[in-house]
Amino acid sequence: MEEKTTFKGISAYPGTVYGKVFRWKQTKRKREDRTDLSPDEIKEEIELLKKGLHKTEEDLADLVQKSKANRELSEILESQIVFLNDPLFRARVFERISQNNESAGLALETAVSSLYDEFQSIPDEFFRERADHILDIGKRIESNLYPDKVADQTKIPDDVILIAKEITPSEMIQLGKSKLRGIATDFGGKTGHTAIIARNYGIPTIVGLKNITSHVEDDDYILLDATKGILNRSPGLDEIKLAGIKSEIHKVQPVREISDGPKEIKTKDGKKFSLRANIDSEDEVDLAFEQGADGIGLVRTEILFIRYVEFKPTEEEQFAVYKRILLKMVGRSVTFRVWDIGADKMENGYEEENPFLGNRGIRYLLRHPHIFKEQLRALLRASEFGTMRIMLPMITTRSEILQTKILLNECLEELKLTGLSITKKIPLGIMVETPACALNLPFLGNHVDFYSVGTNDLLQYLLAVERNNHLVGDLYNPWQVVFLLLLKNIADVANSQKKPISICGEIGSDPMFTAVLIGLGFRDLSSALPLMKEVGEKVQDISTWKAKLLAEQVIQLAGEEKFEEIESLVLQTKG
C-alpha cells in the first residue's frame, strides 16, 4: 500500500511555504502523585493549590498588561482569568484533594482532564475549541505548583515549519515570537486560539490535520499550502518551484500598506470591481482600512465575542464593538453577519446528533427571538455610526427572511420608544450557502437587497462531503463541475435581478479562482486580508471577455474531471 503523502486540514492563516520540519515537544513535569494523604497533608496540599492559583492569576494579569496593544491576545488571556476564577472549576480540584485524599498535582490533572473531555464532547466547534483554555490553565497552575520540576523547554530553531499535536494559547503566544515559516497541528479549528494567534503573527498555519505528527520527522522537508489547507510531505520539484514563487508573495508578517481611501480596481478592459475584506477581529478592521479595502464583506459576529467562556454578550457589549468597527471603517460599508450559532453553543447540556444539518444560524435565532432581537437592536443602534449592511446565515426559505423583517420592525419600534429613531435604510442580505437557497433565488430577490455566496458550506452541502473528514476529504474539490455550474447560475440570477452579489468563502481569497469567478459573472469578492493584494492584481491582469472564455474552458475540463489540466490552464491564462 502506497504511503500517504498529502494531508487535508483547515486553513487558519493563508500562505504557502516549503521548509524543514521541527516537531514541538510539549514539556512534561515530574511530580510524585499520592492518593493516601493524611488530614494534615490534605491541609498542606490545599494551601499549595491556593498559592498556585494565586500565582497563576498574577502571571495572567501581567501577560494581559504586556499584550494590551493586541486586543485579541489580551482578550484570550482575560478569558483565562475568568475561567481560573470559576467556582465550579476550583471546587472540582479542591474536592479531589479533600474527599479523595489526592495530592494537588494529581487532583488538578484529573479535574482538568475531566473538564477537557466534557468540552470536547460538545458537538459545536466553537465550544470544543474553548477546551484549550482548560489545558492551558492546567499547565500554568502545575508550573506554579512545582516550579523546580519543570522540564527544559526545547529551543525552536529559526525558519522551520512547526508540527504539533496541539498548541495551547500560552505556547502559541510564545511561538509567535519565533521566526517560524509555518505551523501544522493534528487538532484545532478555524475559530480556535492557534488560528487566532497565527493570524496576529502572520504565520501560515494549517490546523485539524488529524495525525500529521505520526507521518513526519524532524528535518523532513514538506510543502505547507495553508491557503488551501493542504500539507504535502513529498512534494515534486514543480510544486516546490511554484511554492517558492508563492512564498515571496505571502510574507511571514502581514503587509500593512496605508491607503488614503478605497483602491479602485478594474479589469484589463476597464470594468469596475469591488474587493472587500473578511474579518474576525477588530484588529483586522484597521488592516482592512489601511490596505484600501472597499469595505468589510463579512464580519463573523460570533467570533468577535470568542473571549466569552459562555457565549452571552449583552446588547451593550455588542453595541460597543459594532460601533467601534463602523467608526474605524468610516465612509466604507461593513457587512455584519448575524450570529451563525447553534443550540449546543447557547444551551448547557444540549446535544444534537448532526448540528451541521440542525438547529443553527437563522433557524436557531428565529426559535429564540429574544437572543436575535438583542443583537438586532445592538446593530440598529450602531448603524448610526457608519454604513452598515446586515446579512443572514443559513437561509433556505422565503419565510425565514420575512420573519426576520418582522423582528427588525419590532426592534425599530422598541428603539423609537426609547427616543432613538433609525431613519436610514439598512440593506438586508443573505448568505447563499445551501443548495436550497441557491435554487430559491428567483423567489427571494424581492425580499433582499444583496447576496453573498458562502462557498465553503455551499460546496459541502452540494457534494454531501464534510471537508474535514479525511475519509472523504478528497471529494471536497471546488473545481467540481456541479459546483461551478451552480455558481454561474447564482451569478446569472443575481445579475438579472440587479442585486449585488459577492463571494465571501475561501475561493474568494484564492488567486487561482479569481479569473474564473470573473468569468462566471462575479464582480465583487470578499477576501482574507493577506491575499487581498494578490487577488486585486489578478483582477487587473485579465479582461472580462478572456475570463469568460477561461470559465467556459474550465467548466468543460471539470466535466471530464481533468483537475490538473484546469490548474495548468488557469496559471497560463493572461490578459
In this predicted model, what pLDDT tens digit does every residue of 23-47 receive, in sequence order?
A: 987 665 667 788 888 989 999 999 9
Q: Is the pLDDT of residue 235 over 90?
A: no
372 within domain boundaries: yes
Alpha helical stretches, state H, 232-328: 237-249, 282-290, 301-304, 315-328
Higher pLDDT, 393 or 203: 393
Residue 327 forms part of a structural domain: yes
Closest CA to 292 of 266, 267, 264: 264
Residue 80 — pLDDT band, cuts 50, 70, 90? confident
Question: Are residues 484 and 429 part of one domain?
Answer: yes
Out of 77-81, 105-109, 495-499, 571-575, the most confident range is: 495-499
Q: What is the pLDDT of residue 295?
A: 94
Q: Does residue 536 contact residue 570 with C-beta atoms inside 8 Å?
A: no
Query: In sequence order, which residues have a C-beta less than 8 Å from that of residue 563 and are 6 or more positions away?
Result: 477, 479, 557
305, exposed or middle or buried, with CB in 10 Å at 0-12, 13-18, 19+?
middle
Given the DSSP bridges, would you call strands 230-232 and 6-8 parallel, antiparallel or unpaired? antiparallel
Residue 160 located in a structural domain: yes
Beta strands in 5-139 (DSSP E): 6-8, 10-13, 16-23
Same domain, 163 and 296: no
| Closest by CA position to 426, among listed 395, 368, 381 | 381
Residue 122 shares a structural domain with residue 163: no
Mean pLDDT of 239-246: 64
Where helices occur in 146-270 by DSSP H, the ranges are 169-176, 193-201, 237-249
- Residues 529 and 414 grouped into a single domain: yes
Is 34 inside any structural domain? no
State the pTM of this model.
Answer: 0.68
The answer to whether residues 82 and 195 belong to one domain is no
Q: Is 218 annotated as a binding residue?
A: no
Asked whether residue 258 is assigned to any structural domain, the reply reads no
276 appears as a binding residue in the annotation? no
Is 71 marked within a binding site? no
Of 222, 249, 276, the last residue of a domain is 249
Domain of 202? 6-27+152-238+245-249
CA distance 480 to 393: 24
Percent of the chain clearing pLDDT 70 (strictly above): 83
Q: What is the CATH number of the domain that holds 419?
A: 3.20.20.60
Number of structural domains (the chain) is: 3
Higher pLDDT, 56 or 118: 56
Task: Clarify whether residues 142 and 213 are in a common domain.
Answer: no
Residues 312-353: pLDDT tens digits? 789 999 999 999 999 999 889 999 999 987 544 444 444 556
Domain-located, residue 257: no
Q: For the segment 201-230, what is each residue's pLDDT rounded down to a tens digit? A: 778 899 888 889 999 999 899 999 887 788
| Helix/strand/coil (H/E/C) assignment for every residue in 509-532 | HCHHHHHHHHHHCCCEEEEEHHHH
Q: Mark which of 125, 149, 173 sits at the end of a domain.
A: 149
Burial class (CB in 10 A: 0-12, 13-18, 19+), 366: middle
**Any idea which residues carry the catalytic annotation?**
193, 504
pLDDT at residue 261 tops 80:
no
| Whether residues 137 and 169 fall in one domain | no
Tell me which of 92, 115, 149 is where a domain ends: 149
- Contact present, 37 and 161 (Cβ < 8 Å): no
Question: Half-sphere exposure (CA, 13 Å, Cβ side) for 391?
Answer: 29
Residue 260: inside a domain: no
Q: How far apart are the first and last CA of the chain?
A: 44
Domain shared by 274 and 420, yes or no: yes
Mean residue pLDDT of the chain comes to: 84
Question: Is 337 annotated as belonging to a binding site?
Answer: yes
pLDDT at 111 over 80: yes
Q: Is 457 annotated as a binding residue?
A: yes
Q: What is the mean pLDDT of residues 131-142?
A: 82
Quick check: helix, strand or coil at residue 219?
Answer: coil
Q: How many CB atoms lie within 10 A of CB 397?
A: 15
* Residue 461 belongs to a domain: yes
Q: What is the CATH number of the domain that holds 165?
A: 3.50.30.10
Q: Tell me, yes or no, whether 191 and 316 share the same domain.
A: no
Whether 170 and 212 map to the same domain: the answer is: yes
pLDDT, tens only, 163-180:
998 887 667 666 655 678
Q: Are residues 17 and 107 in the same domain?
A: no
Residues 573, 553: Cα–Cα separation, whole Å: 11
| 509 and 414 share one domain | yes
